Amino acid sequence: MKRTAIIRFKATLTTASALAALTLAMPVAAQTATGAAPQPADAEGGLSEIVVTAQKRAENLQSIPFSVSAVSSDFIERNHIVDIRDLTGQIPNVQFQPITNQSLTAALTIRGIGIPTNPDPYTGTEVAIVTDGVVAGTRLTGLVDQFDVERIEVLRGPQGTLFGANTTGGVINIVTKQPTGEFGVEGRLTLANYHEFDAAAAVNFPLTETLAGKVTVSHRSRDGFYTNLANGRDLGGINTSNFRGYLKWDAADNIDTTVIASYDRVRNDSDAIPNISGPDRLFYQAPGFKKVDFKVYSDATGVNDANIYSITQTTNIDSGTLGRITAITNYSDMNAFNIQDVDGLPAFLLNAGRDLKAWQFSQELRTSFKIGDSIESTIGAFYLDVESKVDTLTMPNGVAPGIETEQFVKHRARSLSGFAQFYWDITDRLRIGAGGRLTWEKIKLFESNDTYSNPNLRPDDPVGNIASGTFVTGFSSSGSDTWTNVGGKLSIDYKVTPGTMLYGYYARGFKSGGFNGRVTDPRDIGPYDPEFVDTFEAGFKSDLFDRRLRFNLALFLNKWRDMQVGQSVYRGAVASSVILNAGRAVTKGFEAEMQAAPVDDLRISASVGYLDAHYKEFSDNATGIDYAGVPLPYAPKWSGAAGIDYTIHTAGGKIVSQAQYTYQGTRWGNYTQHPTERLRPLSLVNANISYSPESDRWSVTLWSRNLFNKKYIASALDVPPLFSFASYGAPRQYGVDFGFKF
């Protein structure tokens, strides 16, 4: 049995006292559609231009006719951002969360669209994570640590034309720093509370005149935030390492090839799963147990391991007539294993083990070229093959003493598509765009569900329990189906002035149908049908006053139909956890983002998002309750951020102080809206202050996240009639980073 993937928490923080005095009055910002925090100045002192690859070519973010935010490497490093979950609240109408009891699996929602409650691969994605051009076929490792990142781009709205099916909500595009071809070393050491020690380094080196190499190594270790009341030890600690190697070959003036090989090693402690059940649940403990005190019970072992391998080759050819041809080939593989005390109570009520294996292969071939002087085009083809095997061992000892179930699910998804996108400059100011994608998807799923009896169940040995147990009953089922879809996008934009653009677009997003992998009756395997999102967006982007002020505004309307929603189907007293097409939903609202550089050394930014996301038609199959009008999960009505960045020049260097304030309104952990699933409004303050000499060879940064030590529930899920469980937001973290480069 291999190891199941889990937690990569963040320690991105600041020392309380030194920082509080300097940054309390400075609310620092989220990177808006112009960047994740106040941007550095350009040569004239204004806001710098932000170059992104959101449309698979390098271009100014302000010229893209849809809503994009980009988080800079400077902001990532100064704020000690380790994975994308640290960006929650900083980009309006975007939520980065872990699945409540699977903290390495990403639960991402953009404008209310996402899959927040089910970690299994067969559910697919609605917000895709793309790293160096490679689309992740599952969300299983979406929250792995990030080091040596150039930028993180957040694309809102369906991105099916260029990124394929299953991107109905949007795309998180992560770009790492590429080899420079010159010798250089840079790195960072971190000491922080909870006995955190991090070390990371990147080494660039030339091999020949045409061959460049790069190696990055990073390691994180930190005690857990939780105390295990079963033995008095901490729980939820981190022990992760990442290795990445690059080779870039400039084969000719017009040809280059880059190979990236990476390995992530996760040896974390068990997930901590606080039980927040009320008296209406079987596993309710006592009044007040919902208090956020980071104390839990766990009788599971600390096994929570994962190994993730990936190799990518990217080749670019400037062919002249055929344009810039790009080929991206990737193979990735992972295995993971963990054991959890799911009930979080002193008694042995519900424990589980999860063994996971997955691999994917993808191939993309595209070309970008001009037709005449006025048409920019991108044409390509894409193939993705993803297979996962998940073996879940469950011990429901509290309701069925001596019983253990083994549910094995093998899922395979293959996708083949062709796509094209064109922009036509009708005049110097007026441009129209059109794109389309033809997608073929084939999904296969096999499931077996077996029950074993063992009067001597051990809470920390799910594998041994089955080996020494007696088979009672079981069944298996399978399904296979294909879906074909044509989707696309139409846009128009107009430059009112060289620094001001109006735009609008319509796009249709598509998510493939599939089969259910958590059934207790073979009749419930499915299939369920595809879902579709029709999006309308209009916006305004501007750089004003010699780029001293940047203001962007986007208004959007998403019409979501045939929604795939997790529900329960009962056959007598036994329920299958399935996905059914629920009906319709609407999400609408706006995002306004501003950055300003009133003087050369001061950067101010602010953003606000409004989101009205609710079901239009949805009746729960299990209860018959009509949820029309109920808000979608993880869709706060209001979100926003504000920030400041101020630089003080000294005789020998500079001091840079940053602070940021983020706000998220009330949101729900699930559509059922059980009282335990209500997540209260949340305001957080992060801050940092750094010093570097004129040579910029080294720097020292004091940082803190959750400066005022807010205690809050980050995610919650009710599982009737048994219990409700949650994950807590990280407490105050603070530390010091020592950076170096030469």
Give the pLDDT confidence score for residue 722 in this predicted structure: 87
Q: Is residue 585 part of a domain?
A: yes
Give the pLDDT confidence score for residue 678 in this predicted structure: 94
Band (pLDDT 50/70/90 cuts) for residue 101 is low
Q: Which of 109, 113, 103 is nearest to 141 (CA)?
A: 103
DSSP conformation class of 608: E
SS3 assignment for 200-251: EEEEEEECCCCEEEEEEEEEEEECCCEEECCCCCEECCEEEEEEEEEEEEEE
Provide the CATH number for the domain around residue 127: 2.40.170.20
**pLDDT tens track for 152-198:** 899 998 898 888 777 888 998 999 999 999 999 999 999 999 999 99
Query: Phi, psi at residue 467, to the nearest 5°?
Result: -60, -35
Band (pLDDT 50/70/90 cuts) for residue 123 is confident
Q: Is residue 633 part of a domain?
A: yes
Q: Indicate the pairing of strand 295-296 with strand 226-228.
A: parallel
Mean pLDDT, residues 719-737 taken together: 91
Task: Specify whether the CB–CB gap between 683 and 661 falls below 8 A.
Answer: yes
Give the pLDDT confidence score for residue 287 in this predicted structure: 59
Residue appearing with tokens 């020494």 = 468
Q: Is residue 5 part of a domain?
A: no
- What span, in angstroms and rounded, lies between the C-alpha atoms of 420 and 511? 19
Contacts of 316 (CB under 8 A, 6+ apart): 255, 256, 257, 324, 325, 326
**pLDDT tens track for 320-344:** 888 999 999 999 999 999 898 988 8
Lowest mean pLDDT among 18-22, 75-79, 272-276, 387-391: 18-22
Report how far apart, in Å, the C-alpha atoms of 407 and of each of 339, 389, 435, 474 are: 15, 11, 42, 10
- What span, in angstroms and rounded, lies between the C-alpha atoms of 742 and 740? 7
Residue 651 CB burial class (10 angstroms; 0-12, 13-18, ≥19) = exposed
Helices then strands (H, E): number in the chain? 4, 43
Q: Is residue 8 part of a domain?
A: no
Give the pLDDT confidence score for residue 186 in this predicted structure: 94
- What span, in angstroms and rounded, lies between the C-alpha atoms of 502 and 643? 26
Lowest mean pLDDT among 98-107, 228-237, 253-262, 298-307: 98-107
Mean pLDDT, residues 634-657 taken together: 94
The pair of structure tokens assigned to 450 is 């077996």
Domain count for the chain, please give it: 1
Please give the full DSSP string across 510-563, using - where no structure is assigned: EE--B--SB-SSGGG--PBPPEEEEEEEEEEEEEETTTTEEEEEEEEEEEEES-
Mean pLDDT, residues 466-471 taken together: 93
Measured CA angle at 476 (ends 472, 482), to 5 deg? 165
Band (pLDDT 50/70/90 cuts) for residue 404 is very high
Q: Indicate the pairing of strand 531-544 with strand 170-176.
A: unpaired
Give the pLDDT confidence score for residue 597 in this predicted structure: 94
Band (pLDDT 50/70/90 cuts) for residue 631 is very high
- The verdict on whether omega for the bond into residue 527 sits within 30 degrees of 0, i.e. cis, is yes
**pLDDT tens track for 13-64:** 233 323 323 233 333 333 333 444 445 455 456 888 888 988 888 899 999 9
Residue 311 CB burial class (10 angstroms; 0-12, 13-18, ≥19) = middle
Give the pLDDT confidence score for residue 19 in this predicted structure: 30
The pair of structure tokens assigned to 681 is 């409004």
- Provide the residue type at 156 as one letter: R
pTM for this structure?
A: 0.89
Give the pLDDT confidence score for residue 289 in this predicted structure: 54
Give the pLDDT confidence score for residue 5 in this predicted structure: 33
Within 10 angstroms of residue 137's Cβ, the number of other Cβ atoms is: 27
**pLDDT tens track for 480-508:** 999 999 999 999 999 999 999 999 999 99
Q: Is residue 279 part of a domain?
A: yes
Average of per-residue pLDDT values in the chain: 87
Band (pLDDT 50/70/90 cuts) for residue 302 is confident
- What span, in angstroms and rounded, lies between the C-alpha atoms of 122 and 394? 19
Report how far apart, in Å, the C-alpha atoms of 82 and of each of 12, 85, 658, 685 are: 7, 8, 18, 17
Statement: residue 345 has pLDDT above 70: yes
Give the pLDDT confidence score for residue 142 in this predicted structure: 59
DSSP conformation class of 619: B
Q: Indicate the pairing of strand 170-176 with strand 127-131.
A: parallel
- Structural domain boundaries enclosing 711: 16-741
The pair of structure tokens assigned to 613 is 């996301």
Q: Is residue 4 part of a domain?
A: no
Q: Is residue 594 part of a domain?
A: yes
Q: Is residue 11 part of a domain?
A: no
- What span, in angstroms and rounded, lies between the C-alpha atoms of 557 and 639? 17
More confident residue, 216 or 125: 216
**pLDDT tens track for 672-717:** 899 999 999 999 999 999 999 999 899 999 999 999 999 999 989 8
DSSP conformation class of 523: G
Q: Which of 733, 697, 728, 699 is nearest to 715 (CA)?
A: 728
